[in-house]
Structure 1
Amino acid sequence: MSSAGEGLARPLPEPVRINVVELASQVLGSMPAAQIPPPLRGIAKFDPRKRAKLGSAPIAAQLENDKKFRELVAESVESGWPELVTSLAEGNVPPAADPVLVAAAAYLTRPPGWAEMIDTARADLERSAAVAEGSEREEVVARLREQLAAQKAAAKEESDRLREQLKAGRAENSELRRKLHEARERAKAAVRRAEEMEQAAEEAKLAASAAGSAGESELRRLRERLSDAERQLEATRRAAREGRSIEETRIRVLLDALQDASAGLRRELALPTSISRPADSVAAVTGESPGVRGVPARALADDDPQLLDQLLALPQVHLVIDGYNVTKTGYGTITLADQRNRLMTALGGLVAQTRVEVTVVFDGAELNAPVQVVAPRGVRVLFSAPGEIADDLIRRLVRAEPPGRAVAVVSSDREVAESVRRMGARPVPSVLLLRRLSRA
């Protein structure tokens, strides 16, 4: 031990101070009560796991001011790391030694040049911290670059989808213009035929007047023909006055024929009148099924309030709801049973208003007993089977739907939203459904 007048210009580095205090607290716990310095006798009674933490400041002060106590702690260092202590006493610092351990041993044993050894260890620790900070900064930059690339890819995918929709819309608009032109041409042809019929009626009148002596029977026939021609002319004029298009009438007749044909085809193929939905084919469990172990606790923008109303207005839309994601967003402070009952009550009103197909999925991975869920008419309730999470069951429901059917998935889980979007479904944040249910 050496150089009592030698001291530190700066406090010990924090890792070194913690190491020294930890060593001293271990020695303190093994000292006889009579040898324990008076300021530390209360701390010596602490639990060994709390002694270094709660008595950090008094132990550090005692080490700094009490040479005898410091030498007792230094003896434990000498017995634990004799080669390191010997090397430091000779003024040599092992090149591969831990800077924290070197500084702690130098502080306690006080070999010649111990203060410089501590300053060297401080510089090594600062360099290591700077290197670690630079590495962490590089990892953050790399992570941000990956996120930016993913967002760019998603934006490009959405742009391509919108571009395809715009192309399809333009093609549909062109087709409608062509049909409108054809309808106008047919209307003009109808007007020409009406004029011809009017001229024929006039000629018939002249012929009837010239042929008065041909007999009463011939006169009645010509009058009947004239009457028919006049009725057709009047009907044509009336349709023209009312602005009704013959093409509109033909389209209506065609639609009625298609509807009757589809009904006839259904009867011919003996299709059932009540057919099951694709979601009914997805294997899942209900809350009452044996073996269920229980429930632990993208055009409008995704957050546009009008998004859900427009989706619900689509024909044959299937609304798949991530149950606990919605309930915990809206009223997560109540029990799970109350959350389910409140959601079922609100969905009953929504189905009654919109008549959409609704499937609610709950996580059923840890149920210990059957769950009583009173689902309103038109609402399908599914629990994920043991070993499966609700997110995977939602994806299977979306995958089961035929291509082209409108499917909306209500969940604020970003991973769920991105995966169902790639499968063709439209994700909707849970808060939009909660707002819609509160309006209902």
Structure 2
Amino acid sequence: MSSAGEGLSRPLPEQVRLNVVDLAAQVLGSMPAALVPPPLRNIAKFDPRKRAKLGSAPIAAQLENDKEFREAVAEAVEKGWPELAASLAEGTVPPAADPVVVAAAAYLMRPPGWPDMVEAARADLEQVAAAAEGNAQEQTVTRLREQLAAQKSSSKEEIERVREQLKAARAENADLRRKLHDARERAKAADHRATELDHEAHAALESKAAASGALEAELRRLKERLADVERQLEASRRAAREGRSIEDARIRVLLDALQDASAGLRRELALPTTIHRPADSVVGASAEGSGVRVPARALADDDPQLLDQILALPQVHLIIDGYNVTKTGYGTLTLADQRARLMTALAGLVAQTRIEVTVVFDGAELNSHVAVNAPRGVRVIFSPHGQIADDMIRQLVRAEPAGRAVAVVSSDREVADSVRKMSARPVSSALLLRRLGRA
């Protein structure tokens, strides 16, 4: 932590800096949300144990540059250590006080002469560190001397033991040499016999190879041809099955969407029952005045009515970026709890609207299969290894037939821009969370 312009020529000692940041982190967690400095609002949401560690640099910078925040922390210090605060305000340092606490309180409260108090604490800490280092060196030298003496004693005993082993090894070596000579003679005889047998076996193998070589070559050629034919046949069958299945699914979804859209159009164009003749409508219009009906305005991406209108479209397909929604709405939960909570909320939405819903989770980092209790009508997909959820979402949009209504729920701008180019309607995660809250 630098203090240029505030009276210190050097940064705070590391122990003092850590103490100041820890005090500020505690105060930050208890401050009202409206009073939390904007740069620290995200850090204030951290777990108390992680706030000082993960937000150390931003907290230190805010203390240095934000006088009001520093004074709020100093006020907490005055309440926690009133006697120490009173002494520092009078310009005196209690002799028995911890130098780290004194320096931290002086830095925050800024009493008269506070830079001298910090420098005095720095000198005390350096003196304590030097003394501790000297004691550690003395202890190390003593321990090494003891280890050297023990090593010398152990070495003498080891030398005597090795000498005894050497004598026994020499005697055993002489006996082994005699046995080795006998074994060599037997090995020579066995090697001569093995050479004769090897010649005989080689001749037999050559004869057998000459007889079966042509047959094996022909058999390999036939097997390769059979394998090629089987692979081509299986590829043709798979292509036929997949192509037929995908085309059938696309045609059926498109027909359902067209059927629902035509039914809605018939309802929208139905004439009022009070009009019996075309001329009656002209009379009615003249009687009511010559006003012009203003078309409905286009809805913005954050308009609460946008999602309701999308869900009312016939055969709409709602594709959801799972973790983008859960981390926006309840990111403090574990990933398993986030998935369970989203599935519970979507069950009510599907029951009300009867729409098709697909939720895509990023599964690239998963080491094993994850079981998800998906409600009826909700399809759950984890992206495979090497592929992110964003790519799966784009693949799902491309799979839909042209003309079907598709909406993608994600606050990722890159995802929103890409699916908009594919004629899908992007929807922010906040709108879906608001709609689920109403459901």
Of structures 1 and 2, the one with the larger relative CO (CA 8 A, separation 6+) is 1
TM-score, length of structure 1 as denominator length: 0.36
TM-score, length of structure 2 as denominator length: 0.36
Larger of the two Rg values belongs to structure = 1
